[in-house]
Structure 1
């Protein structure tokens, strides 16, 4: 039976992938609640904007009356909370905005959801039993999964080689600390008030519609333009990479089939050093983009090592065994197939990323008010 999904941050990178997946491949309805900050791009939702099952609500999750009105007006069955400030470098430059959106905003949304859920219970609505609040978080809350003998702000036991759902939290940046705080709030609302919540922690996402400040799109676009490819430190930081459409499918499965109160880690089984990622991108650029006057061969000659950022974690790696065992989800893309699809998308969608780079995508900020 079709459900109504209220998705916060649905114009963002991961959020828009979830919205597209729901509209294109299910019968569910979607209410996209987005403040439309710099990271929210309505052009990422062009393929769904005319669907009768899609509604855009322009609102800030920190605005309690607006959130209450959104719940009352749209009567969701599922909340998928993706709205967040997410760029580590920006959190170092300005932590306060991350605390406001990620911690305060989550508390406001939780209270709006709890109030709405109580009305469902009081009216004996069948929707009450099926209501879910799904909070989407990051593997960065676990801190640094350093290799044995490497320096780290936090060392897991020697027997631990991957983050599991039981790994203690040890965030390193203002961003990851704010996400850890929001995770704790969600679990507290479940324990204290009984709100039916789910939490997922994912590894690094990549794919189409990714904002160009992030590693993979930044390197693709810089390489195409013949610009330097800045790599922090020695480039040996290790990340697990997850194709965004695989992540979207996993999130929908958790929201509809996951067990209340549980946490599920979502990873791509693709551990790569940052330098390996950049070198792979360079090889693809050399192969696929040979006719630009600004293009420099080999693209790897553009790699430039720059000073490392403060508190840079050495390694993140997800154990996604639980979601595979309990919900049957596995990623469909390898890093190689996903990156090739990503590169092809950026080559075929110049208008999208050029409008991001020149800021013109921000000229239209439409949506129903609440």
Structure 2
């Protein structure tokens, strides 16, 4: 269901057929992405997972209040919409207590509707939501807290197939009526290098969702991070702190900003030095001395050069090669097109290497150097 304003807006767009040529698609104006929270939560199916007792329900109830009242969320202006909050692990007494603490003496909106019971997926939930949308055509957000309470008990197939089937049923409903259905879920206790791999269940849950939020918080800590990704938004991280039961935004970083932030400051200095010099060769110790960097071990410099090469050096057109002698490892930097005899060098271009055997390469480099000396300012 859409608001009157959204229905009028959609009348200006052509209804697309199920199959369309690329030329027709490029020639057809389409409605923009509908945002419940601009840049963070679009219409469609969203998954919000976090540790048990981490404050997900408090944060979710506050979000519902903000959307229902049309109040800003983390610096973003939003449109007031009716919200259905299915708080399936709480009682009305508990919800009332939370509302008192969240709103204080402020007026609350009648556009937030709370419910503590509902049928499961495939057992009447979809029909109940459809009926609610029919009676509240301005609905923008439906929250199901938690997903586990409404999941089907289908054991006939794989866990992935079952998870994907359940979530897809709700996604179809969200897409049909142009709303956001937000599923609150848990993380597994096992740690993972990728936070999204901690989501309990199979990859089918995240695979069917349009947007995924993962909350990370240590027990009793006042701080938490929310990592977001989705089909309509770039990956980013929100850094929050809790104050009077409300999660406030301290900082927001995109994936690109996080990538740049991970680069040590001394590496930018090295790249700037090489860029100005045009070409340079020598040991890591000599390079650190030339740039004026203290407190960094030579082997750490060479590792960070490799780790952040594409971020720091490639945009400046800097090439990097390394050559192992019997006594030390020599580094060679050059700007693209500066060395006419680069193609004749027996050096190893580490930007082309993946999963290499250090001992084997060092041996090959030694043989190459004995056959053809590597000459330069610091050559052996």
Identify the TM-score tier after normalising by the shorter chain. 0.3 to 0.5
Output the TM-score relative to the length of structure 2. 0.34
Higher relative contact order (CA 8 A, sep 6+): 1
Output the TM-score relative to the length of structure 1. 0.35
* Bigger fraction of residues in strand: 2
* Bigger fraction of residues in helix: 1
